[in-house]
C-alpha cells in the first residue's frame, strides 16, 4: 500500500509517494542529529518539502554522545573566540525559543591551587567581555557556599550563564515540528550511492536496513548533515573533506552532584566539565584522535584520567558511584593542526558547487549549542538555490513542545510516582520512573513517523535503561510489553534484547568496580544464568 505525504511548497502542493521505488522532494537531508533535524524544521518553515534519512535513529552520532551543555561561550574565549561569540548569541535565542528543552542551571568557572593565576585566570573576565559573554567574579568562599562539593583549594570563581540542554528532546521536537508540516523522516535508512549527471545529483539510492528494501530519492537539493560520517557521504559525490575524528568519553554519576554547570578555569582539556542533567551529573570529557567514528567505546584509561582531573575540582568525584560511561565523536574539519583541541569548534559549511556538484552542500563540525545557527546558514544556501527569499524563522518562532519528548529528561516527572493511577499504569522502568503509558506514547510516535518499535528506539526517546540498574529489569518488562501488544513476534525480541544489553555493556565495562560491578554481575546472572540468553542463537 502506498502512503502519501502532502507538502506545501509556497502555494503549490508537492506530493511524495512513500512505498514506491522512487520518492521526490525539494530537499533531501542526510543525518538525523540536531543539525539535520534543525535544518528540516527551518526549511519546512520556509515552505520547502523535505525528506530526512538517518542510517540509525535520532541522535545516533555526536548528538547522542555529548554532555548536554548549552555553552555560554566562556569555555572558548581563549582557544576559539569566534566559536565563543557564536555560543553567546545562540544561548540567548535557545533559552527564549526552546526553553522546555533547557534547564537554567547557570554555571561556574573555578580554578584550584596550581592553576595558572597570572595568565588564563587573570585574563578570563576581559576575554569574556570581548566575546560579549557576561561573567561575574565571586569570592571562592561564596562559590563553595553555592556549590558545597567544590574543592577547599578553590582559588578563583566566576559566574556565567551556562545551562543544561536535553539533546534527545531537542531533536525529537525539531523533527516532530517538521513532520507536522508534512516533512518525512525515514529512520534506519542508509544512503548507498549518489547518481550524478551533468554536475548535478539526480537521485540518491537508499536502503532500509531493517527490510532491505531499496529506493531512489530525487530532490532538487541534497544536504549532507551526517556529522562524523559527512566525509563518507561526500566521497559518494567524488568530493574529499579532511575530517578529523576526535573521540570524547563522558561518565554519568549515580546522583546529581552540583546544581550548576562547573567548568575548570583553564584552557579546555580532559575532565574539566561537570554538567547536571536532571537527577544525575555528567563528567567529561576527553579528546582522543581516532581513525574511524564507527564502533567507539570508553576505555579504562580515559575513565581514570577523567576522574583524576575532575576530583581536583570536585573531590567527591573520586569516591562517587558512576553508572555508565559513553563516548561520542566530534566531527571536526582540520586545516592542518596536529592537536584536536586546537581544531576549531566552529562549524564548516561547504557549497559543493565549487567542486562541480551544483545541488549539494555539506554542514559539519560545530557544537550542540550552535545547531540552530548551523541549520540557519545551511538553509540560507538551500533557499538561494531554490530562489526563495524568505528569511530564517527559527530565531523568532518558538520550538513547540510535544508529549512524545517529555520522557527523555532524567527525573523530570518523578512527582508522578505517587499519583493515584500508578496501579493502573505500572512503571516499566523503576530507576527512571517511566510508566507503561509513556512507553505507549513513544511507540505511537515512532510508528507514526514510519519507524520500528524496539528497545533501542524506545531508549533513545526515554530514560529506560539509563538508570542505576542499566537495563537489568526494565529490558525484560518492556520486551514483555512489546510482545503483549503485538509489537514483537517470534525471535525478534530476543535478538533486540541482546543488542540492547550489549550497548549497555559498552558503557559499563570500563567502570566495573564497587557497586557497579555488583550490579553488572546481577544482570549477567539474570539474563545468562537464569535465562541462558548467551546460549540462544540468532
Per-residue pLDDT tens for 362-414? 999 999 999 999 999 999 999 999 999 999 999 999 999 987 666 676 554 44
**Alpha helices (H) in 116-229, listed in sequence order:** 122-130, 140-146, 167-180
87 secondary structure, DSSP code: H
Radius of gyration of the chain from Cα atoms?
23
- Give residue 11's pLDDT: 29
Cα–Cα nearest to 36, from 193, 182, 186: 186
- Give residue 3's pLDDT: 36
Q: Do 265 and 124 form a contact (C-beta atoms < 8 A)? A: yes
Across residues 486-514, what is the average pLDDT?
89
In this prediction, residue 164 has a pLDDT band, given cuts at 50, 70 and 90, of very high
Cα–Cα nearest to 371, from 12, 26, 25, 41: 41
In this prediction, residue 63 has a pLDDT band, given cuts at 50, 70 and 90, of confident
- Give residue 444's pLDDT: 87
In this prediction, residue 432 has a pLDDT band, given cuts at 50, 70 and 90, of confident
Range 13-19, long-range pairs (CB < 8 A, 24+ positions): 14/49, 16/49, 16/51, 16/184, 18/184, 18/450
Residue 434, C-alpha cell as written in the block: 517511566
Distance, CA of 62 to CA of 83 (rounded, Å):
18
- Give residue 419's pLDDT: 52
Amino acid at each position: 500500500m502506498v502512503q502519501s505525504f502532502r507538502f506545501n511548497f509556497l502555494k503549490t502542493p508537492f506530493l511524495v509517494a512513500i512505498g514506491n521505488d522512487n520518492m521526490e522532494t525539494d530537499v533531501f537531508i542526510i543525518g538525523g542529529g540536531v543539525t539535520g533535524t534543525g535544518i528540516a524544521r527551518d526549511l519546512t518553515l520556509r515552505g520547502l518539502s523535505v525528506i530526512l534519512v538517518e542510517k540509525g535513529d535520532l541522535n545516533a552520532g555526536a548528538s547522542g554522545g555529548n554532555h548536554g551543555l548549552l555553552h555560554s561561550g566562556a569555555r572558548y574565549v581563549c582557544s576559539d573566540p569566534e566559536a565563543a561569540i557564536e555560543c553567546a548569541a545562540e544561548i540567548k535565542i535557545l533559552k527564549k525559543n526552546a526553553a522546555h528543552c533547557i534547564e537554567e542551571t547557570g554555571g561556574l568557572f573555578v580554578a584550584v591551587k596550581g592553576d595558572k593565576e597570572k595568565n588564563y585566570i587573570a585574563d578570563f573576565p576581559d576575554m569574556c567581555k570581548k566575546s560579549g559573554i557576561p561573567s561575574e567574579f565571586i569570592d571562592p568562599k561564596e562559590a563553595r557556599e553555592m556549590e558545597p562539593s567544590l574543592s577547599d583549594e578553590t582559588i578563583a570563581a566566576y559566574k556565567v550563564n551556562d545551562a543544561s540542554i536535553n539533546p534527545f528532546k531537542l531533536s525529537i521536537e525539531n523533527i516532530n515540528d517538521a513532520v507536522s508540516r508534512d516533512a518525512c523522516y525515514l529512520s534506519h535508512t542508509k544512503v548507498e550511492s549518489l547518481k550524478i549527471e551533468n554536475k548535478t545529483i539526480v537521485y540518491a539510492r537508499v536502503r532500509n536496513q531493517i527490510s532491505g528494501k531499496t529506493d531512489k530519492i530525487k530532490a532538487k537539493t541534497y544536504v549532507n548533515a551526517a556529522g562524523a560520517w559527512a566525509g563518507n557521504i561526500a566521497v559518494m559525490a567524488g568530493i574529499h573533506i579532511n575530517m578529523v575524528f576526535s573521540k570524547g568519553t563522558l561518565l554519568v554519576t549515580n546522583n546529581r552532584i552540583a546544581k550548576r554547570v562547573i567548568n575548570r578555569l583553564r584552557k579546555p582539556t580532559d575532565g574539566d566539565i561537570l554538567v547536571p542533567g536532571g537527577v544525575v551529573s555528567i563528567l567529561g570529557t576527553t579528546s582522543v584522535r581516532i581513525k574511524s567514528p564507527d564502533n567507539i567505546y570508553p576505555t579504562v584509561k580515559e575513565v581514570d584520567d577523567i576522574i583524576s582531573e575532575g576530583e581536583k575540582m570536585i573531590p567527591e568525584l573520586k569516591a562517587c558511584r558512576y553508572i555508565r560511561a559513553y563516548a561520542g565523536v566530534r566531527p571536526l574539519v582540520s586545516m592542518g593542526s596536529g592537536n584536536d583541541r586546537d581544531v576549531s569548534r566552529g562549524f564548516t559549511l561547504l557549497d559543493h558547487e565549487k567542486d562541480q556538484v551544483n545541488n549539494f552542500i555539506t554542514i559539519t563540525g560545530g557544537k550542540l549549542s550552535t545547531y540552530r545557527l548551523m541549520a540557519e546558514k545551511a538553509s540560507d544556501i538551500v533557499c538561494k538555490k531554490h530562489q526563495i527569499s524568505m528569511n530564517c524563522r527559527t530565531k523568532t518562532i518558538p520550538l513547540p513542545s510535544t508529549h512524545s519528548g517529555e520522557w527523555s529528561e532524567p527525573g523530570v516527572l518523578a512527582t508522578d510516582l505517587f499519583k493515584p493511577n500508578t496501579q493502573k499504569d505500572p512503571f516499566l522502568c523503576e530507576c527512571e520512573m517511566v510508566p507503561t503509558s509513556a512507553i505507549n506514547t513513544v511507540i505511537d510516535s515512532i510508528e507514526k513517523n514510519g519507524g520500528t518499535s524496539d528497545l533501542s528506539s524506545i531508549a533513545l526517546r526515554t530514560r529506560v535503561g539509563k538508570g542505576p540498574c542499566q537495563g537489568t529489569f526494565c529490558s525484560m518488562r518492556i520486551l514483555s510489553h512489546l510482545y503483549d501488544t503485538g509489537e514483537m513476534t517470534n525471535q525478534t525480541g530476543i535478538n533486540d534484547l541482546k543488542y540492547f544489553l550489549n550497548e549497555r555493556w559498552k558503557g559499563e565495562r570500563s567502570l566495573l568496580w564497587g557497586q557497579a560491578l555488583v550490579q553488572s554481575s546481577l544482570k549477567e546472572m539474570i539474563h545468562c544464568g537464569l535465562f541462558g540468553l548467551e546460549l540462544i542463537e540468532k
